[in-house]
Amino acid sequence: MGEAPEIFEDDLWKVFPVGLEPESRGYQTATILGEKTYVIVGSDTESSLSIGIQVFDKSRGKWAIPTVLGTKPTSCKGHSAVLLNKDRILILKQDSTPDDCTWLLEVDTEFVREQKKILKTEVVAWSKGVKGDSPKPLVISGPSGVGKGTLISKLMKEFPSTFGFSVSHTTRALRDKEKDGVHYHFTERSAMEKEIQEGKFLEYASVHGNLYGTSIEAVEMVSDAGKRCILDIDVQGARSVRASFLKAIFIFICPPSYEELEKRLRARGTETEEQIQKRLRNARAELEQGRSSGLFDHLLVNDDFEMCYKSLKKLLGLDGSTEAICEPSPKMVESPVGHSVLEMNEKVLIHCGTAELGKASKNLFVLDASSLKGGAPGRTRGLNMYVGDPFADRPNGIKRLLDPCKLSISTN
């Protein structure tokens, strides 16, 4: 599927890189941006369920295999590709589920340009397209034993469909009552370091002698479910998130006194004396930074637990008794089963590929890409799809189509 420019028909395949000669490729699209042509090759054979990318630089007459960042889509029976905003390629996967059909390959966005400078190679980056926006995540920090976990658990219990927890990775040992994949992803240091190298983490830090980190996927999975993501991370991590692409609300929890903090840590009984001493030493620096750095939007003192919980709910606008954070839950873009696409002024026309004559006009969808948010290394949000006609607001425009074809298109 997708339009391959003429140049590919004969000439380029003669110089196509080893391993991607015509016989071995399943299907491909070619998208031109300036001097570069991005060839996206998919295969739906069982041995190779992946999408590969090659870049042809016309000015140098050379092919390059770029460094590919971000979570990649799995392959499918075919895809359409269209250049969007002159910096990314919109990919619609054929025959895929609604939550997996829309992907973006960034080829010249700010993020990609930055990565090209750092890595000194050709770089492209994937992100998944998601309909609507997501609620701003909450970053909650504070010294060990201050009560972060207790506050977060209570909030999630009272508002289960509003909040979701970002499950961090850590190299520390599992405590009694903790579950792998629920409280943390307990992992080996070497495996975690490898994933950090691969750009899969939003932030990471060495805390009390162990490595902790938030994967991009951990946050995006909560947002995909339409929930506000809560990150329980240390001050170093909060600083990294502040500097990242993620726009969040930063809350610092303080103890009423250092002595009370020590009392709570001991009463919890989950650490050895040596570990308690280490946590208490670190608490001094954390409290200083948390209180004075200007990093946090809100400071809460956890003296009386119920009072502190009430203050937390108040600042989140949850002091009413019902569960209500009035932000729309994002839904994945739903797309037609088979299609061809064409880009016009930030609107993408998607033509449903049924062969039935006379029904063609009913199968026109418009994807509005004029207010995209986010992007690699996370999700691209703000893609909106509707049935209709992009010229509807023009005097001589084609009549707006309101008759959805058999496919369901979700709206906000």
What residue ranges bind ligand ADP (CB under 6 A)? 142, 144-150, 264, 267-268, 302, 305, 308
Smaller CB separation from ligand ADP, 173 or 267:
267
Instruction: Please state, in angstroms and rounded to a whole number, the distance separating the CA atoms of residues 106 and 90.
Output: 9
Out of 149, 199, 226, 353, point to the residue binding ligand GDP (CB under 6 A): 149
Site string for ligand GDP, 170-189 (x = CB under 6 A): --x-----------------
Q: What share of the chain is helix, strand, coil (3-state, %, to 5)?
A: 25, 30, 45
Specify whether the CB–CB gap between 138 and 111 falls below 8 A.
Answer: no
Marked catalytic residue, from 25, 172, 264, 268: 268
Residue among 202 and 369 whose Cβ is closer to ligand GDP: 202
Least distance to ligand ADP, CB of residue 295, Å: 17
Residue 264 binds: one of ligand ADP, ligand GDP, none (C-beta under 5 to 8 A by kind): ligand ADP
Q: Calculate the dihedral angle through the C-alpha atoms of 392, 394, 395, 397, rounding to the nearest 10 degrees.
A: -50
Omega before residue 22 within 30° of 0, cis: no
282, containing H or E segment: helix 273-292
Give the residue from 146, 139, 144 showing the smallest Cα distance to 301. Answer: 146
Which is closer to ligand ADP, CB of 113 or CB of 314?
A: 314
Q: Which two tokens stand for residue 39?
A: 């060839």
Least gap, CB of 319 to ligand ADP (angstroms): 19
Question: Quick one: 98 or 149, whose CB is closer to ligand GDP?
Answer: 149
Chain centre distance of CA 362 = 33
60: annotated active-site residue: no
- Residue 175 among the catalytic residues: yes
- In the complex, what is the shortest distance from the CB of residue 247 to ligand GDP, in angstroms, rounded to a whole number? 18
The reply to whether 236 sits near ligand GDP by the rule CB under 6 A is yes
Of 229, 166, 220, which is closest to residue 373 (Cα–Cα)? 220
Name which of ligand ADP, ligand GDP, none residue 234 binds, using a CB cut-off of 5 to 8 Å depending on partner kind: ligand GDP
- When binding is defined by CB under 6 A, the residue of 237, 255, 290, 378 that contacts ligand GDP is 237
Residue 173 or 326: which CB sits closer to ligand ADP?
A: 173
Using H for helix, E for strand and C for coil, what is the string for 180-236?
ECCCEEECCHHHHHHHHHCCCEEEEEEECCEEEEEEHHHHHHHHHCCCEEEEECCHH
Q: Which of ligand ADP, ligand GDP, none does residue 305 bind (CB under 5 to 8 Å by kind)? A: ligand ADP
Number of residues in contact with ligand GDP under rule CB under 6 A: 17
Which two three-digit tokens encode residue 408?
């369901």
144 binds ligand GDP (CB under 6 A): yes
Is 106 a binding residue for ligand GDP by CB under 6 A? The answer is: no
Name beta bridge partners: 128: 103
> Is 279 considered catalytic here?
yes
CA dist., res. 90 & res. 141, Å (int): 37
Report what 267 binds from ligand GDP, ligand ADP, none; CB cut-off 5-8 Å by kind.
ligand ADP
- Asked whether the beta carbons of 170 and 210 are under 8 A apart, the reply is yes
Out of 60, 113, 175, 400, the active site residue is: 175
> Distance between CA atoms of 131 and 295, rounded to whole angstroms?
30
| Residue with Cβ nearer ligand GDP (52 or 237) | 237
Least Å from the CB of residue 217 to ligand GDP: 13
In the complex, what is the shortest distance from the CB of residue 203 to ligand ADP, in angstroms, rounded to a whole number? 18
What is the CB neighbour count within 10 angstroms for residue 357?
6
Nearest distance from C-beta of residue 49 to ligand GDP, angstroms: 30
| Strand arrangement, sheet containing 228-232 | 163-165, 228-232, 138-141, 249-254, 298-301
Residue number with CB closer to ligand GDP (172 or 331): 172
Q: Which of 228, 239, 279, 381 is catalytic?
A: 279
Per-residue binder mask for ligand GDP (CB under 6 A), 193-232, x = binder: ----------x-x-xx---xxx-----------------x
Q: How far is the CB of 236 from ligand GDP (least distance, A)?
A: 6
One-character DSSP codes across 68-129: EESPPPPP-S-EEEEEETTTEEEEEETT--GGGSEEEEESSSHHHHHHHHHH-S-EEEEEEE
Residues engaged in binding ligand GDP (CB under 6 A) = 144-145, 149, 168, 172, 203, 205, 207-208, 212-214, 232-234, 236-237
Catalytic (active-site) positions? 175, 268, 279
